Amino acid sequence: MTVSGLLSVGLLAQIVQAILVLALAPALTGLVRLLKARLQGRRGASLVQPYRDLACLLRKDVVIAENASWLFQAIPYIVFTMIWFAAVLVPTFTTVLLLGPTADLIALVAFLGSVRFFMALAGMDTGTSFGGLGASREVMIGSLAEPAVLMVIFTVALVAHSTSLIDVAEYLTGTDVGIRVSLLMALLAMVMVAIAENARIPVDNPTTHLELTMVHEAMILEYSGRHLALIEAAAMVKLLLYISLILCMFVPFGIGTRADGFAGIGLGLVVYLGKLMGGAVILAVFESSIAKMRVFRVGEFLGGALLLGVLAMIYLYISWAV
Amino acid sequence: MSTLHYDIAHVLDGSVLLLGFLLLYQRRMFGLINIFAFQALGLALAAAWQAHVHGESHLYATALIALSVKAGIIPYALRRLIIHFGIHRTIDTALGIGPSLVAGATLVALSVMLVLPVTADSAALTREKLALALSTVLIGLLMMITRRNAITQVIGFMALENGLILAAVGVQGMPLVVEMGIAFEVMVAFIIFGIFFFHIRDRFESLDLQYLESHRGERR
């Protein structure tokens, strides 16, 4: 492909991906819910239900607390945009993306960190006790998860000699890296962090109705109408983002690269959908087979993730010293 | 040796170490026993893989012993013991879970720093294997130090022994007789531990070894 051809393909792929992540995210959440319902012996709602929920919320009126500041109304838009943009950056089905060079792992972590900051602000803005409680827990989880994420990123970056997601994916698919203990440990650490960040069981329960155990839900308790719809959609896109990120960093096989041409990119799309479904199945089975842990044990859980990240680094060092 | 062989051996050894960490992380007695069984399974797979790659058929015997005794009989017997004694099924720690995980990571770093200079002129796989095996041994020791209940201490001992076998499998030329001896010794140790359980239990009506310490006159 020529340079201009590459640019236009990159632009096209980028637009497709931007629409794809937004369109797929509710279906992914719906799939996880459906699978969990089936595993628990219930019929479960159809895959379309999350779309219907969002549409319903978008039509409803917004109720805003009297003492809420302008920030409270601005944050749903900020959070949704940032998460969507982050999801657009992560290579899903192809590495030929126009914004590819900006898809840096550390930039991505900074993005997600600022989303957390805004969510915590929104939780505290109305001054209700549950909002503050949720915000303080969210920040605690974040402060524990971030070192672990950075360790994982350092490991992967040292293997691929780059923090760019495109380079990581192309390095892993292109060369004979094989399965390394370091990457295995980094993968486990990343999965643990993803579970904590997406408020899944055992760290948080996305379907809980008990305020005292809530983390994510407690922060958004005051939201309604289209604001709530945006925050719910952002959470769905975030789940997709994390699964895509794990797929891209650790199992990018089948992703369409520059050398593959159009057919390879098309095939990459199919493979990506398959991998996404596999991720949903694993998440549903895992969530159904484990109980939620106490909030104070989250520290140990994420400490374990950090530890795995550190071990991954140590073993990378031995493999090199050899 | 092709990279795939190397990678698979590496991952199997690494999973034994990871399961060692899970032993430190686990809070429930039955979960602990399950993880121990999985660790033994990982060890058996590692030994079988080594036997397959190097064509050393006696390592299959090692794998078989690990699989049958440590992944089968001992977990089953421990489970029976727990049900029989009606032991409290949460794990009582002398050092918290978090600090013991940190201590475990430190031990891994320590064993890496120790193994790398000592084995500077050996093959790559041997060095990594030795580092992993030494870490597993040290984590088993840590488990014995930081857990109060006798059963958890026995599991720590067995995990330590898993690490020893892992080292023996990695280094070529360990005679089968020695391995058989170790396996036999573990069985004997297990039986002796079992008898001790009965005695401790009879005398103190608990398996918490703190009672034993105060009985000996050690005061904290």
* Per-residue three-class SS string for chain A: CCHHHHHHHHHHHHHHHHHHHHHHHHHHHHHHHHHHHHHCCCCCCCCCHHHHHHHHHHHCCCCCCCCCCHHHHHHHHHHHHHHHHHHHHCCCCECCCCCHHHCEHHHHHHHHHHHHHHHHHHHHHCCCHHHHHHHHHHHHHHHHHHHHHHHHHHHHHHHHCCCEHHHHHHHHHHCCCCCCHHHHHHHHHHHHHHHHHCCCCCCCCCCCCCHHHCCHHHHCCCCCHHHHHHHHHHHHHHHHHHHHHHHHHHCCCCCECHHHHHHHHHHHHHHHHHHHHHHHHHHHHHHHCCCCCCHHHHHHHHHHHHHHHHHHHHHHHHHHHC
Please return the burial class of A156, using the count of CB atoms within 10 Å of its CB with bins 0-12, 13-18 and 19+: buried
Of B3, B18, B131, the CB nearest to A318: B131
What value, to the nearest 5°, has the Cα angle with vertex B25 and ends B205 and A154?
A: 165
The answer to whether the CB atoms of A318 and B112 lie below 8 A apart is yes
Per-residue confidence at A79, pLDDT binned at 50, 70, 90? very high
Min Cα distance A300 → chain B (Å) is 6
Q: Is the pLDDT of residue A36 over 60?
A: yes
Q: Which residues of B touch A202 (CB under 8 A)?
A: none
- pLDDT score, position B1: 45
- In total, chain B counts a number of residues equal to 220
- Return the residue in A311, A317, A320 with the most chain B beta carbons within 10 A, the one to mutate for interface testing: A311
Q: Is the pLDDT of residue B126 over 60?
A: yes
**3 state SS of B21:** helix
Cα–Cα dist A32/A235, whole Å: 13
Q: Is the pLDDT of residue A56 over 80?
A: yes
The answer to whether the CB atoms of B109 and A314 lie below 8 A apart is yes
**pTM score, two decimals?**
0.86
Section A286-313 average pLDDT: 88
| Structure-token match 């840590």, residue found | B142
Between B72 and A80, the higher pLDDT residue: A80
Between A178-192, B35-49, B88-102, B111-125, the lowest mean confidence (pLDDT) is in B111-125
What value, to the nearest 5°, has the Cα angle with vertex A13 and ends A10 and A18?
A: 120
The answer to whether the CB atoms of A319 and B105 lie below 8 A apart is no
**A301 close to A192: Cβ distance less than 8 angstroms:** yes
Domain that holds residue A54: 3-321
**3 state SS of B90:** strand
- pLDDT score, position B124: 64
- Return the residue in A314, A316, A317, A319 with the most chain B beta carbons within 10 A, the one to mutate for interface testing: A314
Please return the burial class of B53, using the count of CB atoms within 10 Å of its CB with bins 0-12, 13-18 and 19+: middle
Q: What is the share, in percent, of chain A residues with pLDDT greater than 70?
A: 96
The answer for residues whose C-beta is within 8 angstroms of residue B145's C-beta and 6 or more apart is B94, B95
- How many Å separate Cα A175 from the centre of its chain? 27
- pLDDT score, position A103: 85
Min Cα distance B34 → chain A (Å) is 15
> What total of structural domains would you count in chain A?
1
Of B101, B102, B128, the CB nearest to A318: B128
Predicted-complex ipTM score: 0.74
Give buried/exposed letters for A277-297 (b at 16+ CB in 10 A, else e). Answer: eebbeebbeebeeeeeeebeb
Between A73 and A206, the higher pLDDT residue: A73
**From residue A32, how far is each of A12, A27, A122, A213 by CA, in Å?**
29, 9, 27, 21
- pLDDT score, position B174: 62
Cα–Cα dist B7/A156, whole Å: 17
Q: Is the pLDDT of residue B53 over 70?
A: yes
The answer for residues whose C-beta is within 8 angstroms of residue B122's C-beta and 6 or more apart is none
Cα–Cα dist B151/B143, whole Å: 11
Per-residue confidence at B60, pLDDT binned at 50, 70, 90? confident
Express each pLDDT in B152-206 by its tens digit.
888 888 888 888 888 888 776 666 666 667 776 777 777 777 777 777 777 777 7
Per-residue confidence at A234, pLDDT binned at 50, 70, 90? very high
B41: nearest Cα among B74, B20, B11, B72: B72
Q: Which residues of A touch B98 (CB under 8 A)?
A: 299-300, 303
Cα–Cα dist B161/B78, whole Å: 17
Q: Which residues of B touch A176 (CB under 8 A)?
A: 3
Between B86 and B156, the higher pLDDT residue: B156
Of A178, A300, A310, the CB nearest to B105: A310
Cα–Cα dist B136/A109, whole Å: 33
- pLDDT score, position A295: 82
B22, closest residue in chain A (CA to CA): A304
Q: Which residues of B touch A322 (CB under 8 A)?
A: 124, 127-128
The answer to whether the CB atoms of B101 and A185 lie below 8 A apart is no
Express each pLDDT in A26-35 by its tens digit.
999 999 999 9
Residue type, A169: A
Section A276-299 average pLDDT: 90
The answer to whether the CB atoms of A300 and B7 lie below 8 A apart is no
- pLDDT score, position B2: 61
Section B79-106 average pLDDT: 82
Within an 8 Å CB–CB cutoff, is residue B109 touching chain A? yes
A95: nearest Cα among A227, A261, A224: A261
Cα–Cα dist A193/A301, whole Å: 9
**3 state SS of B205:** coil
- The residue extents of the domains of chain B are 3-215
At B93, give phi and psi (nearest 5°).
-110, 145
Per-residue confidence at B131, pLDDT binned at 50, 70, 90? confident
Q: Is the pLDDT of residue A217 over 80?
A: yes
Express each pLDDT in A108-150 by its tens digit.
999 999 999 999 999 999 888 889 999 999 999 999 999 999 9
**From residue A223, how far is each of A57, A69, A77, A137, A206 by CA, in Å?**
11, 13, 12, 18, 16
User: Kind and range of the H or E element at B19?
Assistant: helix B3-25
Section B69-94 average pLDDT: 82
Of A181, A184, A322, the CB nearest to B127: A322
Between A265-274, B5-14, B181-190, the lowest mean confidence (pLDDT) is in B181-190
Min Cα distance B109 → chain A (Å) is 7
Q: Is the pLDDT of residue A321 over 70?
A: no
Other Cβ atoms less than 10 A from the Cβ of B173: the count is 6
